[in-house]
Amino acid sequence: MNRMRTTTLEMKSTSLKPWTKTLPQDILYHGSIWVFGFLMMYPILWLVASSFKAPHEIWTNVTSLWPKQLMFENYANGWKGFGGITFATFFKNSFFYTGVGTIAQVASSAVVAYAFARIQFIGRKVWFMLMLLTIMLPQQVLLIPQYIMFSKLGWLNSFKPLLIPRFFGHPFFIFLMVQFMRGIPKELDEAAKIDGCSKAGIFFQIMLPLIQPALITSAIFSFYWTWSEFLTPLIYLNDPRLYTISMALRTFADPSGQTDWGAIFAMSTLSLLPVFLIFILFQKYIVEGISTSGLKG
């Protein structure tokens, strides 16, 4: 009887030792995640909170994340815009630019990726390496020659300089899809050819359905980058009726110091909603697309 009690106590003490050792580590680990997560989210939380604050409270009660009085008028005042142009126009321009740009960029990247992954042609590896080298080129390097070219074409003050280049793919998305396609067995292509399927048929009927995670991942990144883009629209768009959200928010700030910060923060909060919604709805595809593509080839 005493031996059974001793054995039971030893088993309990043995089972408690790992738990007592890992408990401080778990507390430190999860505590660190909460702290760093809060620090990363604090600017966004502050932005949302400031959009409901009175103008004088924004800078006098900076650290507070809860307004003393909810000012829904900030959203109404901000939506009025400036120069007789409401933010409905700016949101419409942003959705048009982002939607068309994303579809064009992802579709063209898929076509180019299929050529690199499946079609044999002279200099394929060289062209692929040159394409990858363009990733290292800063965007600012291309601005001046592109501006001169688009100016001679008469495309200034329109969406053409912003959208036409997107019909030629993006090197990062091309690389992502190539890696994904290399993991698809070539036996599927050969079987399709035996059945009389053309290269276009293989691309549309076999490749596109199988690389869906990479397509969605590319679309999410393209949407995010295009939606928040500021420099390119700033260079080519002069008419306020063509402004995107990022340009409108910058123009909304009054250089004389009479800026309605509550209205600006309110419109900034609204501009974040599409990005947050897309990220929440499709976040699993981001991880799946990148991780799977990284394991291919």
Give yes or no: residues 259 and 161 share one domain.
yes
Give yes or no: residues 163 and 275 share one domain.
yes
β-pair partners for 85: 82
| Mean pLDDT of the region 15-20 | 51
The tens digit of pLDDT for each residue in 20-70 reads: 557 778 888 888 899 898 888 899 999 999 999 988 888 887 778 888 888
Domain encompassing residue 271: 74-295
Quote the mean pLDDT of the chain.
86
What CATH number corresponds to the domain at position 130? 1.10.3720.10
Give yes or no: residues 137 and 284 share one domain.
yes
Give yes or no: residues 281 and 244 share one domain.
yes
Q: Which of 56, 72, 88 is the last residue of a domain?
A: 72
CA 267 to CA 234: how far, in whole Å?
19
Give yes or no: residues 81 and 50 share one domain.
no
Provide the number of structural domains found in the chain: 2
> Strands, E, within the chain: which ranges?
none
pLDDT at site 23: 75
- With cut-offs at 50, 70 and 90, classify the pLDDT of residue 295: very low
| Mean pLDDT of the region 271-292 | 79
Give yes or no: residues 85 and 63 share one domain.
no
Give yes or no: residues 81 and 51 share one domain.
no
Of 2-6, 90-94, 125-129, the least confident: 2-6
Give yes or no: residues 10 and 103 share one domain.
no
pLDDT at site 254: 63
Give yes or no: residues 230 and 87 share one domain.
yes
Residue 296 φ/ψ region, left for φ over 0, alpha for ψ in the -120 to 50 degree band, beta for the rest: beta
Q: Which of 31, 47, 72 is the last residue of a domain?
A: 72
- In this predicted structure, the answer to whether residue 10 has a pLDDT above a threshold of 90 is no
For every residue of 90-150, DSSP letters joined together read HHHHHHHHHHHHHHHHHHHHHHHHHHHHH---TTHHHHHHHHHHGGGS-HHHHHHHHHHHH
Give yes or no: residues 44 and 134 share one domain.
no
Q: Do 87 and 79 touch, CB atoms closer than 8 A?
A: yes
Most confident of 26-30, 75-79, 192-196: 75-79
Residue predicted with more confidence, 146 or 285: 146
- With cut-offs at 50, 70 and 90, classify the pLDDT of residue 271: very high
Of 122-131, 133-142, 200-209, 229-238, the least confident: 133-142
- With cut-offs at 50, 70 and 90, classify the pLDDT of residue 82: confident
- With cut-offs at 50, 70 and 90, classify the pLDDT of residue 125: very high
- In this predicted structure, the answer to whether residue 139 has a pLDDT above a threshold of 90 is no
Give yes or no: residues 196 and 171 share one domain.
yes
pLDDT at site 213: 87
pLDDT at site 247: 93
Share of the chain above pLDDT 70, in %: 88
Residue predicted with more confidence, 65 or 129: 129
Q: Which of 55, 72, 89 is the last residue of a domain?
A: 72
- In this predicted structure, the answer to whether residue 293 has a pLDDT above a threshold of 80 is no
Question: What pTM was estimated for this model as a whole?
Answer: 0.83
Give SS3 for 85. Answer: strand
The tens digit of pLDDT for each residue in 218-268 reads: 999 999 999 999 999 999 999 999 999 999 998 887 666 577 889 999 999
Give yes or no: residues 58 and 165 share one domain.
no
- In this predicted structure, the answer to whether residue 291 has a pLDDT above a threshold of 70 is no
